[in-house]
Amino acid sequence: ETGVTQTPRHLVMGMTNKKSLKCEQHLGHNAMYWYKQSAKKPLELMFVYNFKEQTENNSVPSRFSPECPNSSHLFLHLHTLQPEDSALYLCASSHLDGSGANVLTFGAGSRLTVL
Amino acid sequence: GQNIDQPTEMTATEGAIVQINCTYQTSGFNGLFWYQQHAGEAPTFLSYNVLDGLEEKGRFSSFLSRSKGYSYLLLKELQMKDSASYLCASMDSNYQLIWGAGTKLIIKP
């Protein structure tokens, strides 16, 4: 365990379903992230929350909706997804203080398959 | 534009040494990271370089040349458990990470 826990680890959903991914960190970090990881592609940053405020939204389609109720929890709500959204979704956290190294601690990911 | 290049796959022999290269081009530069990711697991932090030179940490070392936009990860005395993907990432002027696609390292007995 890395200190960042993601559930579920595996999810299969149809294009009309609504589901949510959950992430929880117990590291006292102030920033949390959602990344998409597809085979043989670089990690794609989707959302960043810093002190519960969303600071980055890299043109992610509206069918992905993040929620950060507090600095320890992060959700990714999914609805009307497309097959090309099938990927590993990684959550990460870090302590952002503007001093330099922004070391991310990742969860093990949620493997999503859209049928 | 921003770009990170690293080889897709490498193969090495148990007990040997392997060097994984990474070249980067980003908007501003605040350091270079290496992460290790075993199949089905979370990426884990290996190293961070912001100054030129070699940083050694046990069997793993990381090198940075800022003038050349170049880094490498050196793994010595390879073990089977070192089979994993190695991710290179450059931190830009906004302290956000720009990632390479990762290098899959296969260790053979």
The verdict on A103 touching B (C-beta cutoff 8 Å) is yes
- Work out the minimum CA distance from A99 to partner chain B, whole angstroms: 10
Q: What's the Rg (C-alpha) of chain B? A: 13
| Count of Cβ atoms closer than 10 Å to residue B80 Cβ | 9
- Please judge whether A105 and B45 are an interchain contact, meaning their C-beta atoms are less than 8 angstroms apart: yes
Q: Which residue would you say has higher pLDDT here, B11 or A99? A: B11
What spatial distance separates the first Cα and last Cα of chain B, rounded to whole Å? 41
Closest CA to B22 of B98, B100, B105, B81: B100
Beta strands in chain A (DSSP E): 4-7, 10-13, 18-25, 31-37, 44-50, 53-57, 64-70, 73-79, 87-94, 105-106, 110-114
**What are the C-alpha distances in Å from B12 to residues A26, A40, A86, B53?**
37, 20, 31, 25
What confidence score (pLDDT) does residue A75 get?
97
pLDDT tens digits, B75-108: 999 999 999 999 999 998 888 899 999 999 999 9
What confidence score (pLDDT) does residue A67 get?
95
Tell whether the model's pLDDT for residue B50 goes beyond 90. Answer: yes
Most distant pair of Cα atoms in chain A: their distance:
44
**In the structure, what pLDDT confidence band is assigned to residue A66 with cuts at 50, 70 and 90?**
very high
Tell whether the model's pLDDT for residue B64 goes beyond 80. Answer: yes
| Most A CBs within 10 Å, among B36, B97, B98, B104, to test the A interface | B97
The CA-CA-CA angle for residues B78, A39, A6, to 5°, reads 85
Residue B80: what are its φ and ψ, rounded to 5°?
-60, -35
Mean pLDDT of chain B: 95
The verdict on B29 touching A (C-beta cutoff 8 Å) is no
